[in-house]
């Protein structure tokens, strides 16, 4: 859809820095978006401006008042992007830190006893936090097994483990290794049905840049985003906590507001750069629809992003033009299968006869940036059950194009030929 409208994909790409070239290596195609998306130019400009302001918040001067206004606007934009009309939005040092805070607060605030429920698909941020606070609170940490063949965990698998004893549950919305999504609304509803008092925390870090975010529809108590994966920058995370979770005892400055989640003085520039992200979604939605409200324009942008990336994934897996896709290339194995349904911007693969590090270097020599993932504390939950020491991850975003996918497939054909030749 984005490439069907004359000039739109060029206008999109023009809003991002370093789309076609690395500032250190020169021209390249950026297919490492799951490790951090490209930055909006507006985010870079805003970051530089706010880094230079000497004034602080809460003072009686125009500069301080401007900073407070930026924070208020940023919080409103965060709530708008997340579609979170209630509860509290806040920033932390990273998405992982936000998950730890949400999970810690839920574990200590939940009713005594019971179990803490997660899955083997989860990123180590939520899984580690759950393991830590399950141990502290003396609860079993129950893990729902994901399906190696599909690269996700379905509602049926959850239903086998959801009982009235669940006190805290975590659900990852999209795997950063397999790229496959989880129906978080259905899982949350099932938990609510059997354990209505449970706290449910969603890890939306990998999902947020690829599709629709709707906390109001999920029915959960917490949601976490890493803004550097949603066109902003490193150095902060965004969280949302329901009113019910916010009422729990948590780390706070004594005497401060009861609803406060933040500790100390946060960077006003973080809020301002998230406003830049929301403004971008608003702009894109306005280019694609006649929607009259900002939220409706954000939804229109999210739908178009999802559709465009689905096309890129289909081209990568099943071919484009006269180029065959990864599913047809001899020696290529795709983690989680070659289906496109539920896949959000990520393909992880191995090539028989060529090590993953060598394949990453081969693609780099062809001007394509990808990344190796290893059987370590980050990706071992996916790779170890498959008996894989490593793989490569190819990840796209909506500013990528079909022609870039075609160049990647051509480079992969060279790798396949080189493997055969040796």
Asked if residue 211 has pLDDT above 90, the reply is no
* Phi and psi at residue 148, to the nearest 5°: -60, -35
* Phi and psi at residue 90, to the nearest 5°: -155, 165
Please give the average per-residue pLDDT across 6-18, as a whole number.
97
- The pLDDT of residue 58 is 86
Q: Read off the tokens for 199.
A: 């706290």
Please give the average per-residue pLDDT across 153-175, as a whole number.
97
252 pLDDT tier (thresholds 50, 70, 90): confident
- The pLDDT of residue 422 is 61
Other Cβ atoms closer than 10 A to 242: 22
Q: Taking the CA atoms of the chain, what radius of gyration do you get in angstroms?
A: 22
In terms of average pLDDT, the best of 96-105, 261-270, 378-387 is 96-105
pLDDT one-digit tens code per residue, 302-320: 999 999 999 999 999 999 9
The Cα 211–Cα 1 span in angstroms is 14
**pTM: predicted TM-score of the whole model, two decimal places:** 0.96
264 pLDDT tier (thresholds 50, 70, 90): confident
The Cα 358–Cα 256 span in angstroms is 54
The Cα 335–Cα 175 span in angstroms is 11
Burial 380-405 (b: 16+ CB within 10 A, else e): ebbbeeeebebbbbbbbbbbbbbebb
- The pLDDT of residue 62 is 92
Please give the average per-residue pLDDT across 25-43, as a whole number.
97
- The pLDDT of residue 72 is 96
DSSP 181: B
The Cα 211–Cα 199 span in angstroms is 24
């Amino acid at each position: 859809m984005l490439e069907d409208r004359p000039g739109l994909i060029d206008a999109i790409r023009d809003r991002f820095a370093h789309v076609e070239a690395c500032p250190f290596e020169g021209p390249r195609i950026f297919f490492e978006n799951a490790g951090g998306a490209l930055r909006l130019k507006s985010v870079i400009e805003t970051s530089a401006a706010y880094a230079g302001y000497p004034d602080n918040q809460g003072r009686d001067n125009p500069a301080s008042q401007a900073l407070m206004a930026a924070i208020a606007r940023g919080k409103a934009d965060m709530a708008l992007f997340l579609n979170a009309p209630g509860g509290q939005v806040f920033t932390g040092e990273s998405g992982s830190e936000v998950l730890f805070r949400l999970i810690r607060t839920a574990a200590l605030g939940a009713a005594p006893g019971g179990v803490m429920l997660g899955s083997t698909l989860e990123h180590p941020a939520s899984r580690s936090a759950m393991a830590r606070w399950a141990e502290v609170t003396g609860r079993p940490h129950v893990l729902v097994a994901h399906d190696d063949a599909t690269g996700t965990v379905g509602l049926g698998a959850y239903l086998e483990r959801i009982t009235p004893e669940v006190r805290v549950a975590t659900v990852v919305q999209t795997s950063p290794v397999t790229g496959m999504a989880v129906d978080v609304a259905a899982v949350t509803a099932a938990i609510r049905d059997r354990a209505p008092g449970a706290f449910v925390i969603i890890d939306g870090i990998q999902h947020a840049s690829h599709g629709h975010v709707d906390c109001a529809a999920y029915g959960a108590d917490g949601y976490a985003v890493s803004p550097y994966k949603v066109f902003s920058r490193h150095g902060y995370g965004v969280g949302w906590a329901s009113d019910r979770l916010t009422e729990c005892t948590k780390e706070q400055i004594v005497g401060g507001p009861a609803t406060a989640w933040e500790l100390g003085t946060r960077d006003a520039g973080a809020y301002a750069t998230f406003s830049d992200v929301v403004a971008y979604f608003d702009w894109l939605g306005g280019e694609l629809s006649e929607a009259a409200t900002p939220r409706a324009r954000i939804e229109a942008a999210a739908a178009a992003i999802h559709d465009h990336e689905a096309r890129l994934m289909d081209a990568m897996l099943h071919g484009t033009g006269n180029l065959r896709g990864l599913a047809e290339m001899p020696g290529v194995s795709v983690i989680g299968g070659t289906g496109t349904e539920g896949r959000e911007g990520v393909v992880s693969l191995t090539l028989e006869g060529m090590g993953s590090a060598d394949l990453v270097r081969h693609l780099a020599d062809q001007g394509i940036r990808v990344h190796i993932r290893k059987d370590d504390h980050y990706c071992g939950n996916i790779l170890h059950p498959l008996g894989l020491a490593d793989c490569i991850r190819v990840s796209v975003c909506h500013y990528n194009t079909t022609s870039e996918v075609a160049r990647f497939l051509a480079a992969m054909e060279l790798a396949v030929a080189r493997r055969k030749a040796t």
